[in-house]
Structure 1
Amino acid sequence: MKKSASAKKAAPVEKAAGSKKAAPVERAAPVEKAAASKKAAAGKKAAPVKEAAVAPKKAAAAVKKASAAKTVAPKPPRNESHTALVRRARRINRELAEVFPYAHPELDFENPFQLIVATVLSAQTTDLRVNQTTPSLFAKYPTPEDLAAANPEEVEEILRPTGFFRAKTKSVIGLSKALVENHAGEVPGRLEDLVKLPGVGRKTAFVVLGNAFGRPGITVDTHFQRLVKRWQWTEESEPDKIEAAVAALFPKSDWTDLSHHVIWHGRRICHARKPACGACPIAPLCPAYGEGETDPDKAAKLLKYEKGGFPGQRLNPPQAYLDAGGKAAPPLGAAG
């Protein structure tokens, strides 16, 4: 009986002891929840870090973080105002003007006749190939009168390296005849007259007007079309509509140089298949940043430049761009 009494007395002590130990466990639960909520909050705060994978402020800025994240810069809002678009487009042109101060037609010519023929021959081939071919052509047929009276088979043999030589022979002989018959052997300086010549469209006409007559025009070639879409300057897909849309963003005096800047950029940096995004001087302004290689070192290996008119050669830093005459141009990234 004494033992049972002592057991009874001990029981409350055990319960009390048990209750004291259990209490901290119950209180620990809110602490775990608080820790979990802190982690969740930290996770929510950390989420915006992904948005940091945007184009660098400078062409030479490290883009390795963006490359690792494999994300692209956010596109401008769909409701970008016309004023904002104009400012962005003009700033891109200013930046490209600093990178490509020597931008010019890459076809060799000495007069309007040579330029219009060379431009017609440049379809579906490189400017280098045309420049290798036209010296023989113009040496044998220096004037529209000479080419108009040429034997087509002989002209075809000269133009064979340019590809589509039969169609091109027909065009250059045809336009030469039209110049002789309708324009006294002179290349007209009006758009409406130029586009009536065989083989001459608006693109060729604006090349001639802008570079032979100093009359502003926008040259919408494949490079131009590709880049203005990447930059979201327009959603148009037809050359004539692209021309009109882009023309509305710039003063008329800028049109010819703008065409050169865009085309040079498309040939050297913003390639069709794999743009060199990590070496692009206008990366902060480009909605399509990230479509190409964003790592600066890898992107630099994708750059192309012209040396003596030789396309397709690689530019490895820290070399400078060379213009068609072999003179040093500002190195890539010189744009401020």
Structure 2
Amino acid sequence: MNISLYNKSFLSLLDFTANEIYYLLDLATKLKLKRKQGIPGNLLQGKNIALLFEKTSTRTRSAFEIGVIEEGGYPSFIDISSSQFGKKESVEDSAKVLAGYFHAIEFRGYAQKTVEDLAKYSGIPVYNGLTDEDHPTQILADLLTIQEKLPHKPLSEIKVAYIGDTRNNMANAWMYGCAKLGMHFVGFGPKELHPKDEFMNKALAAANKNGAKIEISSDPLCLKNADVIYTDVWVSMGEEHELQKRASLLKDYKITPELMNATQNPNTLFMHCLPAFHDDHTLAVKKASEEYGIDIKEVSDEVFRSKNSIVFEQAENRLHTIKALLVATLSPQQN
């Protein structure tokens, strides 16, 4: 596969061809094996990466920091709340300043426009670690995990059912990923939370070119034969004020053994981008129960801990796919 992604930004999977996505997955597999064999890396030697965080993070920050370090580079974490970014200095000016220090920039925050402007004005690779509209690095990890767990079935034959708020960033990102790889995507959730036309139209345009199928439904029959059931928390960062409304809308879409059985496939995998509310051991779940008398758990503990659950494999693969992304876009040796 003669593909070069050198010096390319990663803002959305819509910007990549199927072959380029498969290239990143293949590279991630190789780098994962190298790590497990204890072979030290040096493909990012001399590279400095800025990690701009407007939203909190566990997996994204850890994956980028470790990925850079293990290949010989140096990551610099920048908490936007304690920097001049976007307050005393515009995004455009900050992008130009950072480009003088760093070889690439990762951004995790609210507006998609911010990450797009960073790429536009910096002239160096910029990576979308999550925005309100998209989460492409998560989808890369998820695709790798599905490949590993269902090796007998090509991704183009996989049916992914995303359940809950089908208009959030994870649903958008999954629609885009499925559309690019010719997969079958089903969004199952209340009509009030179906995708916005803007994002649905982008996904459908890509799906039509690549033989993918995109469905949105409130009928559980759409889950039949799904290879993957996927969900996310009901309230995203910055939307906590909608807690009671969301819980009311989504209570019938909680992932339970009964809902898993609706696929009529005993081998359906359960996936979640994490963090997940599946038991009573988090402050958020306790607060919702004690202050509002509501259950905000989007998945039962039984499903979360079941043999079909591969959530922690997904979490680990964030490291390997992000490392592949960094190496592919920053290392001349890889291109």
TM-score normalised by the chain length of structure 1: 0.26
